[in-house]
Amino acid sequence: MATQGSASAVWRWASWLLLLVLWQGLSWWLADRILPGPAAVARRIGAELGSGTLPAHLALTLGRVLASFLLAMLAGSLLGIALARWPRLDSLLDGWVVLGLNIPALVTIVLCYIWVGLNEFAAVLAVTLNKTPTVVVLLREGARAVDRQLLEVATVFSVAPGRCLLRVYLPQLLPYLLAAARTGLALIWKIVLVVELLGRSNGVGFQLHLFFQLFDITGILAYTLAFALLVVAVEGWLLRPLERRLTRWRL
Amino acid sequence: MTGLRLQGVCKRYGSTPVLGGLDLSLAPGELVCLVGPSGCGKSTLLRLIAGLDRDYSGHIEAGTRLGMVFQAPRLMPWLNALDNVRLVLPAGEEGRRRARTALESVGLGEQLAAYPGQLSGGQQRRVALARAYAVEPQLLLLDEPFVSLDAPSAQRLRELLLLWWRASRATVLFVTHDLDEALGLADRIVFLGGRPARTVLELSLTAPRPRPPELRAQLQRDLLARHPHLLSGQANSGG
């Protein structure tokens, strides 16, 4: 087992190395002006880190990502469970959910800015509205799959509602919550950048817009890479260990 | 002390009557086996008594503290043996102590930290028994709890049940379709049959437990000689 694990780790690192080599090769072939090499981008990240600009914009973007992530997870979970629980509500709202899934992110963003104003609330609202339908669909599926037989155990033994929720109900929803969280994080940060580009004067998306107008490719790559690395770190050091911990019982 | 009293209990699924005005009384501390052919409404009756189905007519009077052992163990796969039992007990040290005692009494003192997936079928059923014992029920309902176990394991769990019952003096209603099992355990056997189901025969057993296999076989032969169709839910009148 141990050798197998370390072998897969070697391959994982090799794949990152390969990406760097390809990037460098492509940069030589295309010329530095079109595609700056990894070294130039790394230097730029260092400089932007040193001046404090990159951390400031990263923090703002990350804050928006977290706020809309938490809101979408909460609203989507409650709505998904409610739809699974009450079929009549489901028939009423199912069409809206499908509609919500298919409205382009751009439309929600533009309409939120027009109706609510060019402010922080509109930005977070737009991202939340984009993500919520996918959470609803996943959690509705999860709530429908809940084992009624286990809930009956809680009923027969008069387990208090709070404890039943924590120990009987939510553990069954956990795989669906985790799936929603992982796909959610990947989707949300992409939408947040668009939201920032269209109507905010700070954040990674705003900076990318600026670099686009200046044709500053090194800047674009530096900010993108910095943020992508941050998301990969959250996934690898927060979500995946959490999942392992919570599904320990699956042997 | 409360036993269990059912008066005129009727239950229908749609237009199909399942239970037709059933009367049944258990004295406090009595161990009664309910025997009947598969699908005759035994499990339905237990669900009504357990309060899992409130859509019936008639009157059911049961003790407040209820324990139940289902046909499947119904353990939470994400909780270890100890936490599965603690789930139904008050939080804190007192609950932990009672859960541990209950698991030790069914011989699982070494497996407290094991998840259900790590336990054998028989061990999972022991956890389910411990969970029911731990609440110190006034009324214990068992729905064919030892079905699909190998014979020696089932026999050990029956002995455990009798040990626990003697110590607790709880009222026990045990549903089974296995006449031999009922003859080994019960103070009284109630036979159900017909559609909708009603009581077709009651049999009191006075022989002391444990009842050896020869005695059980003899009892079964006598019973079936008088009521050849008893196990398909029919008794001869005047028998």
Chain A residues close to B119, C-beta within 8 Å = none
Taking alpha carbons only, the member of B46, B77, B239, B48 closest to residue B142 is: B46
Listed by number, the residues of chain B in 84-103 with a beta carbon closer than 8 Å to a beta carbon of chain A are: 87-88, 91
A152 and chain B in contact, CB less than 8 A? yes
B193 and chain A in contact, CB less than 8 A? no
Rounded Cα distance between B49 and A156, Å, is: 10
Which residues lie across from B59 on neighbouring strands? B7
Chain A residues close to B78, C-beta within 8 Å = 171, 247, 249
Q: Calculate how close chain A gets to B90, using CA atoms only, in Å.
A: 9
Answer yes or no: is pLDDT of A234 > 90: no
Q: What is the mean pLDDT of chain A?
A: 90
Decide: helix, strand or coil at residue B231. helix
Nearest to B76 among A155, A171, A250 (CB): A171
What tokens were used for A67? 């706020």
* Residues B48, B54, B60: CA angle, nearest 5 degrees: 55
pLDDT at B102: 92
Mean predicted confidence (pLDDT) in A103-118: 92
Nearest to B74 among A153, A167, A251 (CB): A153
Residue-wise burial string across B188-227, b where 16 or more C-beta atoms lie within 10 A, e elsewhere: bbbbbbbebbbbbbebebeeeeebeeeebeebbeebeeeb
> Which regions of chain B are under pLDDT 70?
1, 237-239
Chain A residues close to B131, C-beta within 8 Å = 157
Taking alpha carbons only, the member of B6, B103, B83, B80 closest to residue B50 is: B6
pLDDT at B8: 86
Chain A residues close to B118, C-beta within 8 Å = 251
Chain B residues close to A150, C-beta within 8 Å = 74, 76
Rounded Cα distance between A57 and B237, Å, is: 89
What tokens were used for B94? 């007192």
Q: Which residue of A has its CA nearest to B53?
A: A152
What tokens were used for A201? 């004067």
**Residue B173: partners with Cβ closer than 8 Å, 6 or more residues away:** B4, B26, B32, B34, B46, B49, B139, B140, B141, B142
Nearest to B78 among A155, A158, A171 (CB): A171
Contact A152 B52 (CB under 8 A): yes
Contact B52 A155 (CB under 8 A): yes
Chain A residues close to B99, C-beta within 8 Å = none
CB atoms within 10 A of CB A86: 12
CB atoms within 10 A of CB A16: 9
Q: What is the DSSP letter of B39?
A: T
A244 and chain B in contact, CB less than 8 A? no
Which residues lie across from B221 on neighbouring strands? none
B53 and chain A in contact, CB less than 8 A? no
* Residues A51, A186, A123: CA angle, nearest 5 degrees: 70
A251 and chain B in contact, CB less than 8 A? yes
Rounded Cα distance between B179 and B34, Å, is: 10
pLDDT digits (tens, 9 = 90+) for A26-74: 999 988 788 899 999 999 999 999 998 999 999 999 999 999 999 999 9
Chain A residues close to B91, C-beta within 8 Å = 163
pLDDT digits (tens, 9 = 90+) for A156-204: 999 999 999 999 999 999 989 988 988 888 889 889 999 999 988 999 9
Answer yes or no: is pLDDT of A2 > 70: no
A202 and chain B in contact, CB less than 8 A? no
Taking alpha carbons only, the member of A125, A122, A129 closest to residue A79 is: A129
Rounded Cα distance between A149 and A135, Å, is: 25
Taking alpha carbons only, the member of A77, A173, A170 closest to residue A131 is: A77
**Model's pTM, two decimal places?**
0.80
Alpha-carbon dihedral B36, B37, B39, B40, rounded to 10 degrees: -40
Rounded Cα distance between A134 and B23, Å, is: 52
Contact B87 A163 (CB under 8 A): yes
pLDDT at A80: 94
Contact B117 A251 (CB under 8 A): yes
Nearest to A167 among B87, B115, B131 (CB): B87
**Residue A198: partners with Cβ closer than 8 Å, 6 or more residues away:** A109, A110, A113
Q: Is the ipTM of this complex over 0.90?
A: no
Q: Are B202 and B190 in contact (CB under 8 A)?
A: yes
pLDDT at A5: 64
Contact B88 A157 (CB under 8 A): yes
pLDDT digits (tens, 9 = 90+) for A137-166: 999 999 999 999 999 999 999 999 999 999
pLDDT at A1: 44
pLDDT at B239: 41
A16 — pLDDT class (breaks 50, 70, 90): confident
Contact B67 A163 (CB under 8 A): no
Rounded Cα distance between A67 and A128, Å, is: 9
B41 and chain A in contact, CB less than 8 A? no
